[in-house]
Amino acid sequence: MNKPIVITMTNHKGGVGKTTTASFAAFYLQKRGYKVLVVDMDMQGQARIYLADDPTTMDYSSLKNGDMVINQAREGIDLIQFGNNAIDLQYAGKTFVAFRKYLKGLDYDFIIVDNPPAYDTNSVMGTGLSDYVVIVSQTQRLSLESIERQLDSIEVAQKKGGSHTKLIGILQTLEDVRSKHDKKVIALAKKLYPEIMFNTVIQHRTKIKDMTYTGITDKLRADRKAIEQYDNFIEELLERIEVNG
């Protein structure tokens, strides 16, 4: 495996489950024995809530004395938080190509980038950092309508220096299993993008919301049942990028 593999979770629309997906992706990759770094480019800096054993100990600075600040969130998962300093993605005035080079030189198996929910320089850069991009789309018609713009932004990132970046798929999230609307959106998405939709659809679960208080945990059977859908997503993702083990 060409280490590290950089995967960006992106959507210009907020509230679609992007940070949750990035956090659970890191969790399940670590469960498989991989060493993982999460780069939280969202100014809200909320990945720490899911991942950190103690979120209050996280250093919000992304740069100190010209060096990146890497926090240990939990065993096997580290975290860079850009927080309100998202502009630091310029990496001390350098281009995001330089930042990608820096990331690719780190000792991790996977780097998960949580993109900010906006179409701006930082989101384009976050996409350009990656080897692979996952578009996270809520099972709502308005979210589905935004996918074409997401695809356009990937092309922009490629032209700006990320020609290595590949779209690995579209993941639909927050499905209300009782909603006919959600089922129609899922069916329409598969019709419009049959080659790139993940088979896994993430369903809304109250247990997952509870983990914003406890952090991600799979100690109880009820917890494992609620979050195993992300394990299915990671299994599918690894198959698509042809990673074994």
What CA–CA distances, in Å, run from 193 to 177, 186, 190, 234? 21, 11, 5, 20
Q: Tell whether the model's pLDDT for residue 84 goes beyond 70.
A: no
Residue-level pLDDT at 107: 96
Instruction: Output the DSSP codes for the chain.
Output: --SPEEEEEE-SSSSSSHHHHHHHHHHHHHHTT--EEEEE-STT--HHHHH-SSGGG----SEETTEE--EEEETTEEEEE-GGGGGGGGTTT--HHHHHHHHHTSS-SEEEEE--SSSSHHHHHHHHT-SEEEEEEESSHHHHHTHHHHHHHHHHHHHTT-TT-EEEEEEEEEE-TT-HHHHHHHHHHHHHSTTTEEEEEEEP-HHHHHHHHH-S---SHHHHHHHHHHHHHHHHHHHHTT---
pLDDT in tens, 107-121: 999 999 998 876 666
What CA–CA distances, in Å, run from 130 to 8, 39, 99, 125, 179? 6, 11, 11, 9, 34
Going by pLDDT thresholds of 50, 70 and 90, the confidence category of residue 73 is very high
- Among the listed residues 39, 209, 202, 60, the one whose alpha carbon sits nearest the alpha carbon of residue 115: 39
Q: How far apart are CA 52 and CA 41, in angstroms?
A: 16
Which one of 3-17, 136-150, 159-173, 225-239 scores highest in mean pLDDT?
225-239
Give 227 or 82, the one with higher predicted confidence.
Answer: 227
DSSP-assigned beta bridge partners for residue 81: 40
Contacts of 160 (CB under 8 A, 6+ apart): 124, 128
Residue-level pLDDT at 183: 95
The pLDDT mean for the chain works out to: 86
Going by pLDDT thresholds of 50, 70 and 90, the confidence category of residue 245 is very low
20-24, 56-60, 155-159, 168-172: range with lowest mean pLDDT: 56-60
pLDDT in tens, 121-130: 666 777 888 8
- The dihedrals phi and psi of 226, each to the nearest 5 degrees, come to -70, -35
DSSP-assigned beta bridge partners for residue 233: none
Going by pLDDT thresholds of 50, 70 and 90, the confidence category of residue 92 is very low
Q: Tell whether the model's pLDDT for residue 58 goes beyond 90.
A: no
Side-chain half-sphere of 230: how many Cα atoms within 13 Å? 28
Residue-level pLDDT at 192: 94
Q: Tell whether the model's pLDDT for residue 78 goes beyond 90.
A: yes
Q: Tell whether the model's pLDDT for residue 85 goes beyond 80.
A: no
26-30, 89-93, 211-215: range with lowest mean pLDDT: 89-93
pLDDT in tens, 144-197: 888 888 888 888 777 776 678 899 999 999 999 999 999 999 999 999 999 999
Going by pLDDT thresholds of 50, 70 and 90, the confidence category of residue 95 is low
Provide mean pLDDT across the span 203-219: 94
Residue-level pLDDT at 66: 65
**3-state SS string for 116-153:** CCCCCHHHHHHHHCCCEEEEEEECCHHHHHCHHHHHHH
CB-based contact 41:167 (threshold 8 Å): no
All structural domains of the chain: 5-240 (3.40.50.300)
